[in-house]
Amino acid sequence: MHNVIISTNIHDTLTQAIAAVEHDKLFLLCDETTRQLCFPLVQDIPTLAAAIPITIGATDTHKTLDTLSDVWTALSQGGGTRHSLLINLGGGMVTDLGGFAASTFKRGIAYINIPTTLLSMVDASVGGKTGINFNGLKNEVGVFSQPRTVLIDTHFLRTLDRPNILSGYAEMLKHGLISTPEHFAALLNFDLDSIDYPLLGRMVGDSVAVKERIVTEDPLEHGIRKALNLGHTAGHALESWALSRQPILHGYAVAWGLICELYLCCTKTNFPTEPMRQAVRFIREHYGILPITCDDYPELHQLMTHDKKNTADTINFTLLGGIGDIRINQTATREEIYESLDFLREG
């Protein structure tokens, strides 16, 4: 795959990335926030002068069939053909929905992702998962379709508030846990209270390299790509639980999901206690706690059974036997899952 470019000069890299894809019309998709905050950083690039702008509403509530239809309409009315090129400038919502729009318009046109949040840099924009939410279910409809280029410019990191840095950082912690002890230690040692942006930029590169390596081996998630689901079986349930109360950012749910699933790693696949304790300490210190009680356990268990990855009777987890020792297709009983939720609450 190797189509990810870490850039410190978006003018040059984007000009080259556009030139590398033969195209007739060029379209630029933003949401209302990235139009205001991120587009100014690229608007004077000469090759973008001809781009037809498309702007959609910001946040996950707009990741819908109606918005997708608006993007298809804009591509069609703008004279898009099978040889057109779409650039997606935004967070995961824009790159997921824009990637799906591109992959289906005229049976598929080329697209370039320029992720502007830490979460989309290290996860959503890389790996070719595209889609929309449908009938109340997240990412229910979509396709696997690789972008021509993912252009990561770490200047965008400076536009992010602390919760959004932390949200992306949880996926980086996951990448550390599935790679090497050195990578994981570097993440635990990074000072999130006084951010060294050039260092964070280099760490983004290391993090994306972990994901790229796995996706290249298994692009359609038949096997090892499931490693990227670490923390997500519990995390998605916690995220859905919070949705009807006080919504939380995806990465916070992943961080708390990692606590539950590292507990399962220790009890079921012999993950060593010390790195688990370090991870839990780091997550508690930076992400705080989620106010669940034991009355919430049945609902959380039910939400886990609804996850796309699971069947009615088994709940699938990716666990670890140690840092980088990946064990896919593990299951846990209701009792074990309840214990992991006790651990999340009490430590």
Residues in contact with ligand GLY by CB under 6 A are: 123, 127, 129, 225, 228
CB of 277 to ligand GLY, least distance (A): 26
Nearer to ligand GLY, 107 or 308 (CB): 308
Helix axis angle for 297-306 and 232-243, nearest 10°, is: 120
Tokens encoding 213? 């390596």
CB of 124 to ligand GLY, least distance (A): 7
Nearer to ligand GLY, 42 or 227 (CB): 227
Nearer to ligand GLY, 148 or 225 (CB): 225
Which residue number is nearest to ligand GLY in terms of Cβ?
228
CB of 232 to ligand GLY, least distance (A): 7
Q: Give the separation between CA 302 and CA 53, rounded to whole angstroms.
A: 42
User: Is 225:244 a contact under the CB 8 Å cutoff?
Assistant: no
- DSSP β-bridge partners for residue 153: 7
Residue type at position 117? T
Nearer to ligand GLY, 25 or 138 (CB): 138
User: Is 252:162 a contact under the CB 8 Å cutoff?
Assistant: no
Q: Give the separation between CA 277 and CA 261, rounded to whole angstroms.
A: 13
C-alpha distance across the termini of the chain, in Å? 40
CB of 92 to ligand GLY, least distance (A): 9
CB of 141 to ligand GLY, least distance (A): 16
- Tell which residue, 202, 332, 204, 313, has the closest CA to residue 267: 332
Nearer to ligand GLY, 70 or 96 (CB): 96
